[in-house]
Amino acid sequence: MTDSARISINGARLWQSLMDLAKIGATPKGGVCRLALTDLDKQGRDLVVGWAKEAGLQITTDKIGNVFMRRKGRNNALPPVVTGSHIDTQPTGGKFDGNYGVLAGLEVVRTLNDRGIETEAPIEVAFWTNEEGSRFVPVMMGSGVFAGAFSLETAYAAKDVSGNTVKNELERIGYVGDEEPGKHPIGAYFEAHIEQGPVLEDAGITIGVVKGVLGLRWYDCIVTGMEAHAGPTPMALRKDALQVATKIMQEVVAIANRYPPYGRGTVGFVQVHPNSRNVIPGTVKFSIDLRNVDSERLDAMDREIRAFISETSKTSGLPISIEQVSYFPPCPFEAGCVDAVAKGAKEFGYSVMDVVSGAGHDAVYMARLAPAGMVFIPCKDGISHNEIEDTKPEQVEAGCNVLLHAMLDRANAMK
């Protein structure tokens, strides 16, 4: 056992902070609406920064409004071990998505303060601007600018539906800092988060050790048939675009099932033309979403769907186009960080399993810059981005204990 064994966070205090922050933008149905860079976001930011100051942390803000809250280490020349997430929410969001990762970080610091524990490397808690992307695109804006995925200018120019820019809104709420995004050193990065999926709950497991984040390939697919009257056109003379499209839709799922356990295949969007009860569909446009945690397997899935479509076009005689419209490579987390999370869970005897994240997180961009890892806790019915998003106090506490120990492991290992 390490010298950090058996140190536990204060679960009640963490829960109370979550509930207090959730009051800002609270919705009647028990959720939270606190869109990025609104007055409510400012109130939320101010509350968290106030708590950080009470805990003695030193605040730095960068030009895209990312906030870093620092607890000094014994050797402040070392890059800090950082944890964080975001406090903006979806329009009908919940209390935990993002907020949990930020307040779990704050609770780690409060616990270390309570115990008077020093770490070798400094520890920081960050919150990243506009992770949700509900008001401004692109999503994961603050961490994306920080990681150089797109420019500060691009982010500044983004407009909401009313035409307000990110730059103006950042200035208005007073969160444009001096620091150049990305110039802030990061020794390692951890993020605690609700799973936003059903796996942990379904398996009855408390802690998910996140091995990585699924890569994805998004496609638009169009099948072109011949629109004709449903009555007078015999089956043999039809060019029914929907019948061909549905074969492909079935294959999308079949492909995912051939790449277990992390293959995913989804058709979420379908548009039939002319979409009339007694007309054979002339055109069907639909989306394909393929995901996997491993690049080679995701590439193999890509080859399989393209081959199937090519073959289906040949056998049906109907033109079928497929165009990739988005690609995020899989993001495996660094082995050392993954191990630190697993070790933390083991020290507390929590039930644990390896999982992957199906959704994007700020940690994906951080993984481009530093060793990174994530801790997942279950959420009720796997539901997130929803006002009924929920999780249990004991799970919230467990995830934070694991975060604490993973960070201590890393911070003290840095020399």
Among residues 83, 61, 73, the alpha carbon closest in space to that of 9 is found at 83
Q: For the chain, give the number of residues.
A: 415
Nearer of residues 166 and 216 to its own copies, judged by Cβ:
216
Q: Considering the complex, state which of residue 41 and residue 195 has its C-beta at the smaller distance from its own copies.
A: 195
Closest approach of its own copies to the CB of residue 232, in Å: 3
Nearest Cα neighbor of 358 from 250, 269, 296, 266 is 266
Using CB under 8 A as the binding rule, whether residue 256 contacts its own copies is answered as yes
Residue (78 or 383) nearer to its own copies, CB: 383
Site string for its own copies, 223-252 (x = CB under 8 A): -----xxxxxxxx-x--x-xx--xx-xx--
Task: Compute the distance between CA of residue 408 and CA of residue 177 in angstroms, rounded to an integer.
Answer: 29
CA dist 204 and 316 (Å) reads 46
Query: What does the block give as tokens for 82?
Result: 């950082």
d(CA 313, CA 317) in angstroms, rounded, equals 6
- Binding residue for its own copies, selected from 76, 275, 321, 324, defined by CB under 8 A: 275
Stretch that binds its own copies, among 70-78, 167-175, 286-294, 341-349 (CB under 8 A): 286-294
Closest residue by Cα to residue 409 from 356, 194, 401: 401
Please count the residues of this chain forming the interface with its own copies, following the rule CB under 8 A.
57
Q: Pairing mode, if any, of strands 320-328 and 228-229?
A: unpaired
Residue numbers 350-389 binding its own copies by CB under 8 A: 357-360, 382, 384-385
> How many CB atoms within 10 Å of residue 141?
32
Q: Is 277 in the site for its own copies (CB under 8 A)?
A: yes
Residue given tokens 């076009």 in the structure block? 313
CA distance 276 to 264: 31
Residue 217 engages its own copies in binding (rule: CB under 8 A): no
Per CB under 8 A, 327 contacts its own copies: no
Residue 214 near its own copies by CB under 8 A:
yes
3-state SS, residue 93 = strand
Among 195, 302, 387, 409, binds its own copies (CB under 8 A): 195
Residues that bind its own copies (CB under 8 A): 195-199, 202, 214, 216, 218, 228-235, 237, 240, 242-243, 246-247, 249-250, 253, 256-257, 260-270, 272, 275-281, 287, 289, 291, 357-360, 382, 384-385
